[in-house]
Structure 1
Amino acid sequence: MPLRRRASPHGPQRPSLRRPRTWWESLGANLPWVYLSLLIAMTAGVMLAWPIVRSDTDTWFHLENGRYLFTHGAIPHQTHFSFLEPPRESVNYSWLFQALVYWLSVHWGYYGLIVLRAAVFLATAVLIARLLGSGPQGRSWWSALPAVLCTLLLFSRDINLRPHIFTYLFIVLTVFIIERRPRWTWLLPGVVIVWNNVHGIMYPVVLLIGLAYGIEYAVNRLRGRPYRPQDARQALIPLVVMMCAIFVRPRALDFFQLPFPNLEGYLHQRISEFSRLAWRDLLTIHINALIPQGLTVVNLYGLLVVMAVVRGVASRTMRLSHLLLCLGGVAMASRGVRFVHEFALLSLPLLAANPRAAPCVAEASQRPLRSSQSEGGRDAGVGRLPRPAAWLIAGLLMLIPIRWITARVPFRPAYPFSRQALPVGVATFLNQAGSGGALMNAPNSGGYLRWMLSPRYRIFMDMEQIFTDEDFYQATQAFVQAPMLRRIVSRYDPSFITAPMENQQFAGVIKEFPEYVPVFFDDAEILYASRLREPDLTARYALQEIDLLELAKHARTILGDESLSPSVLQALERLIAIDPGCGLTRYLLGLAAIQSSAYDQALSHAGVIVEQYPEWAQGHALRGRALRGLGRLDEASRAYRRALRLAPGRSVLYKELGLVFRAQHQPARAYRMLKRGVDLFGSDTSLEDLYLLGSVAREAGKLADARAVFQFMLAERVSPGETTWIDTLATELSQLTSGGIFGILPEAKGEVR
């Protein structure tokens, strides 16, 4: 059959031997970008489905500043929320972000904040993909890989709603306009004006971008490169105006006296994201169960950057602006771990222009990996990987980013807002029962307390950089050293003190201040009130009869059996009326209801816990116990399984699940669960549990195991005076005929043969 020739206005051409691509080949050719698109969409979906949670409480102090701005018509520049004297002063560099998030919260609540977070992430990720995908390599794996790593890095930071997410967006947008849309450079001044008022502390990044491209332009002119007037109009003039635009903000001259940020003191010691990078961490790549650990994602991205630099230098295609941006990013990353994201984004132009490792790698990637042929024309050695193996390896590699994302959001908390680790109940109590005043607090929860209590209450401090190292030292040491707390109390005389529940040292510290008594607690903190300043409140709500730390310890165990006194139960009922969503109080009341066989009440308490803390195993375990007591065994089984997914390996859950299977007349499954739930050799394992294990083994037909358990009880656990147990076990053993694994007979107690 003759080959068809293509008609051409330039004369005859050689016949085309290219056959049309199959759908499989088209998918393979576009697989990198299909995968990247799906990953970005999935990650944006995860961000939409993930609630506002406390990774830190900065989100709430931004909300409170936004409320102050709308209420007073002025940007806050002082610590109006703190009782520290004199007030600390600074320049608010995120006022536009604060106004935006407060406006969204007023009109759409936490849902509006979630949508904002996901939208900013999606816009940033899409711009990164467009920037890399329009480079020399197009939509190949070489351009998709850095985009995938950037997506992971963005997710780890954008999940926390703070103004830095806009900095990431504006870095990529600015570079994208300069690199890919030079006719749009007239937009850059406007972009920077918005950027500088949303997150103005990052103005050095604006200067870095402008200077990098401006220096490159000047060097090219000095080297005699061809000059076109439109180059100045499209690049140089907008860049100069862009850098000048950083002055378009309130109190601009005062603003530029701020450090970037103040890392010369001890900020890196009190805020983890400012901790310095260690060389050991930068040289470590660790992937466990397809989940990158530590700084592995950052290190892989850095490796790509190094390879791109090698490629650019070897091929003499390195642009000066790209190198300056990359070096600026390296300098920023050296100041703190939080700046590795800026380094990644500033290195994007370098990766887009030099996507492959080195010329030799580029050439090798273009050659088919076939083996040489033998004289007979057949493959003589090992060629490329078999297609199934290649697809398997590719699939595992593509699974790593998905595993990394899901590992960071394993179980979704309450939606759209989770009260986990936040003093929600303490704030509710103060708003309902208190009359205002000064509240001594630990810094970590300060942002949320500001949002909930200001302006009626003033706190000590939050985690803003406006506070000094000395302020932070006093705030933290006051909860572990009585002299420091006495120093603060003598100067400011706060009406209330709220301490983290996990800080057990504070129980000893507060004993030296008898005027302060506990009046309330929630899942995160314990509130103390001053008898001198709040006599009526302390007389009504004092909790001196309750050992709060012991209660908290009791609540951390799953299905504990400690009983509570009537006075404690009465106090818990009083607390639950003020804070119905408190998981700790609900859990303690639920356990008390189980002990009194009030399973309906226990189920009601468990339902509230599961609603407020779906990620908390105790709530599902309590629900399963209540359902088992009500005879709803299938539902109880599902509740216990859910609890096991949240708290793998908890023996009490296996024991409870075994009891459910036994009640369902499934002795084999019951025995499998009880073998994992009852520790045969545990010193604290009760005789009742051991007897249960042996009885279920007998019911399951495991006669040798049953005999072994009963013999072990007689030999090691039953004392000679416990005649009831001896008679019971002797009766059980007389009914068993097969030998046990221990070979211990009642008459030869203590001997092993």
Structure 2
Amino acid sequence: MSAARSARIFILGFLLALAGYVTNQKIELTTADLGRHLKNGEIFFNEGIIPQTNFYSYTHPDHPVVNHHWGAGAIFYLVRQAAGFGGLSLFFMAASLAAFLLVFDLAARSSCFEAAAVLSMVTLPLLGSRSEIRPEVLSCLFIAFFLWVLWDLRNFRRWRWVLPVVQAAWVNTHIYFFFGPCLIGLFLLDRLVGRQGNWRQDVKHLGQAIFLCAAAAMINPAGPRGVLYPLLIFRSYEYRLFENQSVSFLERLNINYSPIANFKIALGILAVSWVIWFVKTKRLAAGRIILSLAAGLLAWTAVRNLALFGHLSLPLMAANFGLFFPRAGQDKSRWGESWRFNRLAPACFLAGIFLLTMSRFNPEPFRFAKKGLGLQPGTQNAAGFFVRENIQGPVFNNYDIGGYLIYYLYPGRRVFVDNRPEAYPGSFFKDVYVPMQEHDEAWNQADARYNFNAIFFYRHDLTPWGQNFLIQRIRDPRWAPVFVDEERIVFLRRNGPNRKTIEQFELPREMFSIKRQG
């Protein structure tokens, strides 16, 4: 084995290790959607039901829901049953690495291995912005696979019949399934504009692929409504989520979200690569241009898409900068036989410097304390206390902790709310959930309506109404704090059915101090 080949294997191993590291974190079940996904999977396999209403909640149990990620819940449940939460962490890392490998292969084939390796250092930190186990990782994998198949039309001819099969799985696992036909459409447009080679046959095959993928998307429990759901989901979205906010919105509020610095650097490099492409070729690559614009726009308008931008931008940048490098399999005589090897050392040096720089801009993916497999220590303690003491509801909980309660308490107890704005009427958040935490009058009205006996709250809720609510309940003599840990707090009504638990576990109010966050 040549020295250059050995060095490339070493660098690829390093990149995979780095990708695994930045996408890994211990499972934070308290504020994650994962608990609900696992419960969906459990219900599917044990009862043969795909939930189509909000039956986890006692406030709006009949509200219709398009369960667009039920398949992801089924997959997560099977993995958890077979290998525990540690195995679920490994599964997420494996899916993330597979997506990265596919786009890295495209980048290396579009330029050269060394260029792809250096550019990966720009995009890898972005992957760490979505290191929580979500169905979204399957969309990243499927998008990477579609790109890998479509990028080279010779590859497409071999793999095109697999795309509808993947599309059928995709529509049942994550709402980004519409990217499948859209990606095919971009490459079809590229062939129509370029009209090179056997373009008519390519257009025909790409058109067939769009039709078959569109038909495959109909294979979901909600049928046509499920296909149209990406257009409908925000109709009654009355609760603002951090992940759906734009870069400019967060900057206006002076919110220091560190991945934005990485994104701006990557976006700038992508823009420079297109300037170089136009200057050198004077050609229009319509499909890739639109894909670049779409990837940048998606990430800019919703920070949840920063990791997706990281995947998409790598092969796009490499293809443009590939004008300066010999591609894989290309004659390298004019570069010298040792071209690749001679550039491995400086490439590694520059990549290492960039990595150190990025760890300063965006330290979150590199924090060792959050790394590991399985659940965060102590995750089960609060729910275990609740079940062990047989605490009676109804329970009032905040938005963040809903998935946690669904996982540990359903079906014995249902939640007031969970982290799915689309599963509740818009008026519920605007007229009930937020006001009852802001104003005592609204809280008393809701309390009279629902007759709460317990409060189960994520105590690092950064919303102004959530912080105000906790302060008021600590001061409220009608409610007794009985459990608190790093993330969760439980209150019980003094004159309710949980009096014995209060007598045994009430916490002194002096142990609580008021410190607003955010």
* Pair in the same fold by TM > 0.5: yes
Q: CA deviation at 1:541?
A: 2.9
Q: CA deviation at 1:90?
A: 1.4
The one of 281, 286, 290 equivalent to 1:320 is 286
The one of 335, 338, 354 equivalent to 1:397 is 354
The SS at the match of 2:491 is strand
Aligned partner letter, 1:409:
R
Preserved contact between residue 519 and residue 542 of structure 1 (Cα < 8 Å): no
- Residue 66 (str. 1) matches residue 66 (str. 2): no
Aligned partner letter, 1:252:
G
Aligned partner letter, 1:214:
L
Separation of aligned partners in 1, 2:258 and 2:424: 33
Equivalence for 2:161: 186
Equivalence for 1:152: 125
Change in CA separation of 1:262 and 1:476 when aligned onto 2, cut-off 3 Å: same
Q: Which moved more, 1:348-357 or 1:205-214?
A: 348-357
Deviations 1:594-621 (A, max 9, x none): xxxxxxxxxxxxxxxxxxxxxxxxxxxx
Equivalence for 1:551: 511
1:653-668 to structure 2, matched below 5 A, reads none
1:167-182 to structure 2, matched below 5 A, reads 167-180=139-152, 181-182=155-156
Aligned partner letter, 1:39:
L
The one of 38, 57, 61 equivalent to 1:82 is 57
Equivalence for 2:183: 209
Equivalence for 1:538: 499
Separation of aligned partners in 1, 2:468 and 2:452: 20
- Residue 354 (str. 1) matches residue 314 (str. 2): no
Separation of aligned partners in 2, 1:146 and 1:215: 27
Deviations 1:499-518 (A, max 9, x none): 34457744663489765434
Equivalence for 1:163: 135
Aligned partner letter, 1:171:
I
Equivalence for 2:264: 299
Structure 2 stretches lacking a partner, 5+ long: 326-333, 337-344, 461-465
Q: CA deviation at 1:468?
A: 4.2
Q: CA deviation at 1:280?
A: 9.6
- Residue 471 (str. 1) matches residue 428 (str. 2): yes
The SS at the match of 2:27 is coil
Q: CA deviation at 1:261?
A: 7.0
Deviations 1:569-615 (A, max 9, x none): xxxxxxxxxxxxxxxxxxxxxxxxxxxxxxxxxxxxxxxxxxxxxxx
The one of 102, 105, 113 equivalent to 1:127 is 102
Preserved contact between residue 395 and residue 452 of structure 2 (Cα < 8 Å): yes
Separation of aligned partners in 1, 2:320 and 2:98: 24
Preserved contact between residue 121 and residue 351 of structure 2 (Cα < 8 Å): no
The one of 54, 70, 83 equivalent to 1:108 is 83
Equivalence for 1:517: 480
Equivalence for 2:11: 35
Separation of aligned partners in 2, 1:401 and 1:426: 36
- Residue 461 (str. 1) matches residue 417 (str. 2): yes
Q: CA deviation at 1:196?
A: 1.3
The SS at the match of 1:529 is strand
Preserved contact between residue 440 and residue 498 of structure 1 (Cα < 8 Å): yes
Equivalence for 1:663: none
Aligned partner letter, 2:456:
T
Preserved contact between residue 186 and residue 290 of structure 2 (Cα < 8 Å): yes
The SS at the match of 2:394 is strand
Q: CA deviation at 1:236?
A: 3.3
- Residue 427 (str. 1) matches residue 399 (str. 2): no
- Pairs aligned (count): 485
Larger radius of gyration: 1
Change in CA separation of 1:413 and 1:187 when aligned onto 2, cut-off 3 Å: closer
Equivalence for 1:621: none
Q: CA deviation at 1:116?
A: 0.7
Equivalence for 1:339: 305
Separation of aligned partners in 1, 2:481 and 2:434: 20
Deviations 1:333-378 (A, max 9, x none): 343111233344344553343125899xxxxxx999xxxxxxxxxx
Q: CA deviation at 1:264?
A: 6.7
Q: CA deviation at 1:553?
A: 4.6
Change in CA separation of 1:155 and 1:526 when aligned onto 2, cut-off 3 Å: closer
The one of 207, 210, 228 equivalent to 1:236 is 207
The SS at the match of 2:490 is strand
Equivalence for 2:241: 271
Separation of aligned partners in 2, 1:389 and 1:147: 15
Q: Which moved more, 1:324-333 or 1:340-349?
A: 340-349
Aligned partner letter, 1:472:
F
Q: CA deviation at 1:299?
A: 1.3
Deviations 1:100-156 (A, max 9, x none): 111222222102211111110111111111110011x22232x33333333222233
Q: CA deviation at 1:270?
A: 2.6
Change in CA separation of 1:510 and 1:300 when aligned onto 2, cut-off 3 Å: closer
Equivalence for 1:527: 490
- Residue 486 (str. 1) matches residue 444 (str. 2): yes
Structure 1 stretches lacking a partner, 5+ long: 1-20, 287-291, 360-365, 369-387, 555-753
Separation of aligned partners in 2, 1:351 and 1:413: 30
Preserved contact between residue 66 and residue 99 of structure 1 (Cα < 8 Å): yes
Q: CA deviation at 1:82?
A: 0.8
Q: Which moved more, 1:231-240 or 1:246-255?
A: 231-240
Separation of aligned partners in 1, 2:74 and 2:2: 53
- Residue 416 (str. 1) matches residue 381 (str. 2): no
Aligned partner letter, 1:247:
M
- Residue 140 (str. 1) matches residue 114 (str. 2): yes
Change in CA separation of 1:67 and 1:337 when aligned onto 2, cut-off 3 Å: same
Equivalence for 1:496: 454
Identity of aligned residues (%): 22
Separation of aligned partners in 2, 1:507 and 1:209: 47
Change in CA separation of 1:31 and 1:552 when aligned onto 2, cut-off 3 Å: farther
Aligned partner letter, 1:148:
M
Aligned partner letter, 1:38:
F
Aligned partner letter, 2:185:
L
Separation of aligned partners in 1, 2:357 and 2:232: 34
Q: CA deviation at 1:467?
A: 2.7
Q: CA deviation at 1:213?
A: 1.8
Separation of aligned partners in 1, 2:267 and 2:323: 12
Preserved contact between residue 322 and residue 349 of structure 1 (Cα < 8 Å): no
Separation of aligned partners in 1, 2:170 and 2:496: 46
The SS at the match of 2:414 is strand
The SS at the match of 2:442 is helix
Change in CA separation of 1:228 and 1:446 when aligned onto 2, cut-off 3 Å: closer
After superposition, the CA RMSD in angstroms is 3.8
Preserved contact between residue 44 and residue 74 of structure 2 (Cα < 8 Å): yes
Separation of aligned partners in 2, 1:326 and 1:487: 51
Normalising to structure 2: TM-score of the pair? Answer: 0.81
The SS at the match of 1:270 is coil
